[in-house]
Amino acid sequence: MVKVNDNYLKLPGSYLFSTIGKKVAAFSAANPDKKIIRLGIGDVTQPLAPAIIDALHSAVDEMADAATFKGYAPDLGYEFLRSAIAKNDYADRGCDIAADEIFVSDGAKCDSSNIQEIFSLDNKIAVCDPVYPVYVDSNVMAGRTGTWDPATETWSDVIYMQCTAENNFAPELPKETPDLIYLCFPNNPTGSTITKDQLQVWVDYANRVGAVIIYDAAYEAYISEENVPHTIYECDGARTCAIELRSFSKNAGFTGVRLGFTVVPKELKAGDTYLHGLWARRHGTKYNGAPYIVQKAGEAVYSPEGKAQLKEQVAYYMKNAAVIYEGLKSAGYTVSGGVNAPYIWLKTPDGMSSWEFFDYLLEKGNVVGTPGSGFGPSGEGYFRLTAFGSYENTVEAIERMKKL
Ligand code: MLT
């Protein structure tokens, strides 16, 4: 008789942002007169930049003509996009990444959950706590995380690296040696960053213990400080220990368009096996390539007009981040993040739990945020607000919060 993958049955609750979506929908249905401001999921609100719209239009026109029509995309990505990425995101930063080490996909969420497939189930993962839930959930689905302890809200076979106010929300090297290390900087959810020297410590550590770092740099466009690395390949030795995940969602507003990429350097090995070939095999078998029109839109991100327009878009969201950060600080909240990241991490007031504050803010202020405990046990007592709303809504949300 057919059986399910019972690892799925071990997952507690539903996906964090689905739970929030359901709660907000129920509140909205019960209170149709309330204007809800959503600063929960990190979804963008500004329209695609004109350079990207132009690229989409002309790519659509190409699809209308037999002479320029495109069918299946190359499964690893079109050369024009991989070359633009290699030049702009890596060569221009002094990093040695070739176009054929870049695998174009439909986004970093999928890549961050799929990448674990090329590793043995025996590997032990280390994650920050709090952490973007996809890294842990995808390993649970694969059967790599052991048993769930509802009391501590942790998995028995996962190494949790606590990120708290005491360590500026930056993980310390774990006591137990992991095989796979998930790092995300600028960080989702805390908005924290580490310096290039601090990241170099992780790269040296991974090379020393034979671990692979899965480095999620989805928010690199929001870096404003000089000493914060934009890519892990700025560190010496990263080519032999790191895979990097990147997204067009946050730097270019592609959350609904879908485009991302993963970098797997050719030197990177697990034991005697090169990971580049394994990821290429996985991609080739399970993926038919991001759509041509979307990859053309991605190419426009790197055009001079695209770069200038997106710089303005990032500045728009970072103005929101400053409104949230300064507004809440002046109202007596303890806040961090928001300087190199579009997320503001705040301590819940009056000892409220993260979910209590979620309900309180939704009911009394009609503002939606994300409970810190949804990202892991060390997120309890914290709350995340995103800077991806419109400026007007952000200002209004903070005014409402100040009055609570
Ligand atoms: C978030 O809110 O954490 C992100 O938007 C989720 C994602 O990028 O998938």
Give, for all 404 residues of the chain, the pLDDT tens digit.
999 999 999 998 888 899 999 999 999 999 999 999 999 999 999 999 999 999 999 999 999 999 999 999 998 999 999 999 999 999 999 999 999 999 999 999 999 999 999 999 999 999 999 999 999 999 999 999 999 999 999 999 999 999 999 999 999 999 999 999 999 999 999 999 999 999 999 999 999 999 999 999 999 999 999 999 999 999 999 999 999 999 999 999 999 999 999 999 999 999 999 999 999 999 999 999 999 999 999 999 999 999 999 999 999 999 999 999 999 999 999 999 999 999 999 999 999 999 999 999 999 999 999 999 999 999 999 999 999 999 999 999 999 999 99
397 lines ligand 1 (CB under 6 A): no
How far, in Å, CA of 56 to CA of 252, rounded?
13
Q: Specify whether the CB–CB gap between 146 and 136 falls below 8 A.
A: no
Which residue minimizes the CA distance to atom 1 of ligand 1? 42
Q: Specify whether the CB–CB gap between 337 and 344 falls below 8 A.
A: yes
Exposure string for 45-71, b = 16+ CB within 10 A, e = fewer:
beebbebbebbbeebeeeeeeeeeeee
How far, in Å, CA of 111 to CA of 306, rounded?
25
Give backbone dihedrals phi and psi of 335, rounded to 5 degrees, phi first.
-130, 150
Instruction: Report the separation in Å between the CA atom of 209 and the middle of ligand 1, taken as the mean of its atom positions.
Output: 31
How far, in Å, CA of 189 to CA of 372, rounded?
8
pLDDT score at 75: 86
Q: Which residues lie below 8 Å from residue 208, measured CB to CB, with a gap of 6+? A: none
pLDDT score at 15: 86
How far, in Å, CA of 322 to CA of 337, rounded?
10
250 lines ligand 1 (CB under 6 A): no
Q: Which atom of ligand 1 is nearest to the CA of 249?
A: 8
pLDDT score at 206: 98
- Greatest Cα-to-Cα distance within the chain, rounded to the nearest angstrom: 66
Instruction: Report the separation in Å between the CA atom of 348 and the middle of ligand 1, taken as the mean of its atom positions.
Output: 21
191 lines ligand 1 (CB under 6 A): no
Residue 62 CA to its chain's centroid (Å) = 32
- The preferred substitution site among 17, 114, 219, 259 for testing ligand 1, maximizing ligand atoms within 8 Å of CB, is 17
- The preferred substitution site among 188, 317, 386 for testing ligand 1, maximizing ligand atoms within 8 Å of CB, is 188
ω into 371 cis (within 30 of 0): no
Q: Specify whether the CB–CB gap between 215 and 241 falls below 8 A.
A: no
Burial of 79 per CB tally in 10 Å (0-12, 13-18, 19+): exposed
Residue 106 CB neighbours (<10 A): 18
Q: Which atom of ligand 1 is nearest to the CA of 189?
A: 3
- The preferred substitution site among 132, 187, 255, 258 for testing ligand 1, maximizing ligand atoms within 8 Å of CB, is 132
Residue 36 CB neighbours (<10 A): 17
CA distances from 363 to 7, 29, 36, 331 (A): 36, 13, 10, 19
